[in-house]
Amino acid sequence: MTTSQIWAGKFNVSGADIDYLTNLLLERETPLSLEALALALIEKRQTDEVEKARKRYEDVRPYRPSEIYAVGQRIMFPALEHSIATVTHERKGFSPDSGEFTVIGVVFDDTDDKEREFASALTVDHVLNQVDETAIAMPGIEQQSAEEILTEYGEKIIASLKKRLQENDDLISVAGKWFSRSLILDVNEGHLNLAEAVLDIMGGGPLAPQAILEQIGSIGNAPEELQIYSLNYALMHDPRFDEVGPVGQVLWYLARLEPDEVKQVPQILRYTPIEYDPKLLTAEMEALIAELDDELSGIESESLGEREDASIALIYPHRRAGTLPLNAKMRVVFPTALSTPRVWVTLVDGQDGEESIGWVVREQRYVYGLNSLYRKHTLPVGAFVSVRRGEQDGHIVIDFRSHKPRTEWVKLITPKNNQLAFDEQKRSIGAEYDDLLILGTDDIAGVDAMGEQARQQRRPLASIIRTILGELARFSPQSAVHAKTIYSAVNVLRRCPPGPILATLVSNPDFEYVGNHYWKISER
């Protein structure tokens, strides 16, 4: 293990480290990222370690049996891990093999005054006389490069650094870069009003701060990077503006021109959590939950690694709201952000290349902006929709498995007297779909009214499932309905992940399991 690995593994950021970085920012007059600050701190720590070693070995002579040492002389022993000792006494020595020599007594720095003796003034050859001068020029200092240390220990160092920076009132972070508050340029109300006007002309945005600065004029005579940083800081603290760029990119948008469906979750996507006992679920049910990968199921995406594409089968709430779920697979494909709750993206129709605006609402786990695409291609509930990263940054290609339209039998939701009912009719479909999830309706307003009524009445989940099973059983000779179909139909009336639905089926005696994920109304 190198000496740099020893101190890097125990790295803690001190107050003196923060003072050093503060002065560095003042000297450079340039905002720096956490990584750049960490790298500067590592380089400083390396310099300090070398200087410490230099002072430690100053006036220290390497031990060679042939040399003569005086009392009080400090000696370094390369063969003893470069330990340092002080000569305390000397006496005459003799051996038949070596003849006359001097014995020196030394006490090592890291011992409790325990004296040891070594030969000196030795006239015969000895292996320890062959000490490599390069090995003792700065012994014990085997450094990795600063970049190598950052790669190996960066996570721990950056976490410690970020915590200490956040505790310092004079240091601020904007778009992932840190700077001294005292050096921020004054961005006045006139600058902000001009920025609002520029974004308004652009339909709300998004615009990079460089583009805004070009339109409103410079802010003083400071370097452009500091002007941009100061503008970002001012916009960040003005509620008129919303930062909507992905990690590594700053983009500004007028908050008042953002879609309502982005600023607040569409009603049809809102989930009121239902408590249930996960122990009720069998391994088969857990596998089905993983297959459905509902964004509300809490499936993590860390184990998925880097992905360029993903696919899902649409359920009714997302088809109706014009959204995509940010489930485990989708979250890896869509861009992330450091702090902003919304990220602006360009959605590209994989069928014809048409581009549209999309919004990634990561905290609430959905992507908004697909209504026109769904309607244009008449995609049904249950359609397989895929996403992949486009050739340009911030572009996401939305696609589906298209084929020549053919007539299919589809279960339609047909509200009757504001009550849920189903019918089977033929429909022309030009996209592949999951036949256990597909649903349709010719009465969207009626379905919306049923959903609103279910929400206002706080209708229990078991009651909704009972109605669905009773209705859909008519289409099955065994009067049984697949769990995926139940899940799809429940979400027409109430947003709900599959976990609570399956737990309700298991725990309620009204429902009977008949195998292979099929359920029916219990004859009891």
Which helix H or strand E contains 116, and what residues bound it?
A: strand 115-120
Q: Minimal CA–CA distance to 386: which of 476, 461, 439, 308?
A: 308
Q: Which residue shows structure tokens 């879609």?
A: 259
What pLDDT, on a 0 to 100 scale, did the predictor assign at position 139?
A: 56
Burial (CB < 10 A; 0-12, 13-18, 19+), residue 474, is exposed
110: which DSSP letter?
Answer: T
Query: Per-residue pLDDT tens for 195-248?
Result: 999 999 999 989 999 999 999 988 878 888 888 889 999 998 999 999 998 877
Q: Are 13 and 160 in contact (CB under 8 A)?
A: yes
Strand partners for 519 = 481, 513
Whether residue 454 contacts residue 464, with contact meaning beta carbons closer than 8 Å, is answered with: yes
pLDDT under 70: residue ranges of the chain: 1-11, 112, 131-143, 301-307, 338-339, 524
- Helices marked H in 419-460: 444-457
At residue 86, the 3 state secondary structure works out as strand
0.95 surpassed by pTM: no
Centroid of chain to Cα 242: 20
CA distance 294 to 93: 85
Q: Can you list the domains of the chain with their CATH numbers? A: 3-56+142-165 (no CATH), 60-136 (2.30.30), 184-258 (1.10.10), 267-521 (2.40.330.10)
pLDDT score recorded for residue 182: 83
Residue 245: Cβ-neighbour burial (10 angstroms; 0-12, 13-18, 19+)? buried
The answer to whether 303 and 329 have CB atoms below 8 angstroms apart is no
Name 512's bridge partners: 520
- pLDDT for the residue 354: 93
Question: Can you give the pLDDT at residue 1?
Answer: 44
Residues belonging to the chain: 524
Pick the closest to residue 465 from 410, 524, 520, 523 (CA basis): 520
| Residue 152, token pair as written in the block | 């190996």
C-alpha 431/C-alpha 109 separation (Å) is: 79
pLDDT of residue 433: 92
Cα distance between residue 231 and residue 188, in whole Å: 10
Token look-up 């976990």 returns 499
